[in-house]
Amino acid sequence: MKHEKFYLVWCESGNVPTKKHDDHESACREAERLAISSRHHTFHVLECVSSVTHTSVVWTGEKPAPF
């Protein structure tokens, strides 16, 4: 599986990022929009450089009832 580059906008004093941006320019526009509407807060544009997925679960012993 090929890693697809994407960007997030994050503020240390705010909530978790909610929008995944496909390109750097879009993330920068969003960071600027948020900075204008939230004075005195710093917004960071973050690039995802790697991802990991665990694809199997192995049970030992008695398997618990379904959730």
DSSP for 20-40 reads -BSSHHHHHHHHHHHHHHSTT
Q: What is the pTM of this model?
A: 0.73
Q: What is the separation of C-alpha 40 from the centre of its chain, rounded to a whole number of angstroms?
A: 23
Tokens of 25: 């320019």
Q: How many CB atoms are located within 10 Å of the residue 12 CB?
A: 8
How many domains does one find in the chain? 1
User: Residue 17 domain-assigned?
Assistant: yes
Please give the residue range of the domain that contains residue 36.
7-47
Residue 28: the pLDDT is: 98
pLDDT tens series, the chain, 67 aa: 577 899 999 999 988 898 999 999 999 999 999 999 998 999 999 999 888 888 887 877 877 777 6
Identify the H or E element spanning 7. strand 7-11
Residue 6: the pLDDT is: 96
Distance CA 10, CA 15 (A): 8
Residue 43: the pLDDT is: 97
User: Residue 52 domain-assigned?
Assistant: no
